[in-house]
C-alpha cells in the first residue's frame, strides 16, 4: 500500500460472517536508524474501510 493512496483489497473469507486481510507497513523516518534512541516506540495508523 502507498501512503495517501486508495487501493482495493479483497479480504479472504473465513466463514459466513468473518473475513480477514493481512496488511503490512514499513516505517518511514527522516531519522537514520542508528540515531534512534532506545526505549518505548509508538506509532499510529488510520485505515478507512469502505464497503461496496
Contacts 24+ apart (CB under 8 A), 24-33: 25/1, 28/3
1 falls in which pLDDT band (50, 70, 90)? low
Give the chain's mean pLDDT: 80
- On the question of pLDDT at 16 being above 90, the answer is yes
Q: What pTM did the predictor assign? A: 0.41
Task: Give pLDDT tens digits for 20-40.
Answer: 988 877 777 777 878 878 887
Amino acid at each position: 500500500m502507498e501512503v495517501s493512496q486508495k487501493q482495493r483489497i479483497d479480504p479472504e473469507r473465513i466463514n459466513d460472517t468473518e473475513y480477514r486481510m493481512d496488511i503490512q507497513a514499513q516505517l518511514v523516518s527522516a531519522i537514520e536508524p542508528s540515531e534512534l534512541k532506545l526505549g518505548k516506540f509508538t506509532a499510529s495508523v488510520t485505515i478507512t474501510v469502505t464497503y461496496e
